[in-house]
């Protein structure tokens, strides 16, 4: 069966740099860090006291104000980013009458779901008893609710489910969404990931894992992918959504085509609960599958948006994996969005997919900041914004449990 071609027609974000895609990417190009001390809750006794938090989030007209106050932040972030992506695609706030909503879906993943509501509910149970638990406790913590409520508002009756594969969540979601379109089961799918983990229990949990940087004296310099001085990742939050659409559907309605989705690949390290395989074999398999699915050879790729979290083991393992696939790495530019926005966990791949599409559209890639003493690496790692005509890009996401997912995006063909 011939696969239908899939294109990207809209982008939406909620990030530490705001909820406007142009502002988000312009700030990345400028090499600005979004990492700041945490002021949202007391954390003086935590070993890590900073993150790339979202300040003064305003859902604007995208969510009913009463609902916005009530829902967990991960739901609000996902609904705003999803609607902004549709708005960018020309499908919101007015959805064309010609659209078949039974063929429109939402696949919006979250690694952790409603952490703030979970924390508050647990606290109320312990301190005040079961009668003080909100009746919205269960609906607002389960990971499917961001996509579910987005579909309720839009009337989208097509495929709708979350994927939860830790920090690989967004790419798994994007691949799943594209497959529904390829197989003719949907025309339009809003997809990506969302996370709102920066709470006492979220921060405390990652501190207990000893996964986070403890550079409290200089938080803006703490996220430093590939730098020999890295000491762990920096927590981030937000949502990154893209609108995927069949090429024929996009052309028929005159939609802006921002990039083409060529394929995706998945694998499992089958190695350790939190640590990557040091030889990079699982990641290499994932990238190889993505290129096979895209029907292209590795020589066509000239840009990589790396997973690159700033962890001692993960950064090097990814380089080892990439060097197994790409035989001329010096021709490929590679950068790390997380150096500026931290690691948004289940939302990371969605935000990075948006950054990758922006790079394709603009012909300019953002720097990796804080890269002062790099690990040995054959790839080109720009530390300043750089012009680059991107033909084919890959974006990597890997998660706890050994979950790996890579997507392949390309410049739209004229």
Q: Which residues are part of the catalytic machinery?
A: 167, 307, 343
Q: What are the structure tokens assigned to 223, written together?
A: 């996220």
- 395 backbone φψ class: left, alpha, beta (φ>0; ψ -120 to 50): beta
Q: From start to end of 186-326, where are the E strands?
A: 188-195, 238-246, 259-268, 303-305
- Measured CA to CA, the distance from residue 74 to residue 239 in angstroms comes to 8
Block residue for tokens 């830790």 = 166
SS3 370: coil
Residues in the chain: 414
Residue 272 φ then ψ, to 5°: -160, 155
Those residues whose C-beta lies under 8 Å from the C-beta of residue 309, and which sit 6 or more positions away, are 167, 225, 233, 315, 338, 343
- Measured CA to CA, the distance from residue 140 to residue 117 in angstroms comes to 7
Contact between 218 and 50 under an 8 Å Cβ cutoff? The reply is no
- Measured CA to CA, the distance from residue 348 to residue 166 in angstroms comes to 10
Count CA atoms closer than 13 A to 107's CA, side-chain side. 25
In order of 209, 320, 383, the CA distances from 342 in angstroms are 17, 22, 17
């Amino acid at each position: 069966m011939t696969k239908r071609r899939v294109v990207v027609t809209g982008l939406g974000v909620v990030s530490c740099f705001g909820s406007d895609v142009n502002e988000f990417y312009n700030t990345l190009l400028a090499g600005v860090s979004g990492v700041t001390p945490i002021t949202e809750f007391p954390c003086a006794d935590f070993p890590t006291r900073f993150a790339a938090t979202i300040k003064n989030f305003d859902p604007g007209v995208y969510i009913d104000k009463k609902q916005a106050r009530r829902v967990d932040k991960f739901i609000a972030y996902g609904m705003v980013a999803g609607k902004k992506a549709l708005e960018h695609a020309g499908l919101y706030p007015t959805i064309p009458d010609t659209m078949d909503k039974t063929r429109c879906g939402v696949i919006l993943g979250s690694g952790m779901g409603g952490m703030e509501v979970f924390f508050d509910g647990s606290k109320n149970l312990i301190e005040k008893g079961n009668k003080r638990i909100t009746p919205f406790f269960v609906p607002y913590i389960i990971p499917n609710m961001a996509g579910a409520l987005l579909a309720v508002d839009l009337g989208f009756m097509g495929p709708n489910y979350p994927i939860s594969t830790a920090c690989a969540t967004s790419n798994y979601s994007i691949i799943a969404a594209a497959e529904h379109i390829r197989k003719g089961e949907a025309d339009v799918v809003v997809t990506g990931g969302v996370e709102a983990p920066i709470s006492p229990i979220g921060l405390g949990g990652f501190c207990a894992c000893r996964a986070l940087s403890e550079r409290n004296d200089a938080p803006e310099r703490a996220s430093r992918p590939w730098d020999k001085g890295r000491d762990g990742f920096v927590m981030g939050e937000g949502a990154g959504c893209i609108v995927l659409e069949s090429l024929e559907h996009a052309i028929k309605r005159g939609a802006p085509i921002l990039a083409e989705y060529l394929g995706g690949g998945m694998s499992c390290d089958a190695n350790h609960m939190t640590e990557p395989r040091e030889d990079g074999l699982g990641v290499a398999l994932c990238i190889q599958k993505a290129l096979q699915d895209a029907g292209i050879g590795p020589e066509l790729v000239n840009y990589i948006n790396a997973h690159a979290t700033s962890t001692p083991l993960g950064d090097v393992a990814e380089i080892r994996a990439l060097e197994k696939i790409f035989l001329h790495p010096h021709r490929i530019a590679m950068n790390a969005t997380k150096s500026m926005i931290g690691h948004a966990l289940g939302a990371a791949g969605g935000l990075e997919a948006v950054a990758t599409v922006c790079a394709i559209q603009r012909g300019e890639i953002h720097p990796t900041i804080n890269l002062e003493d790099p690990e040995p690496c054959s790839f080109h790692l720009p530390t300043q914004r750089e012009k680059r005509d991107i033909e084919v890009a890959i974006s990597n996401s890997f998660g706890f449990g050994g979950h790996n997912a890579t997507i392949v995006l390309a410049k739209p063909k004229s």
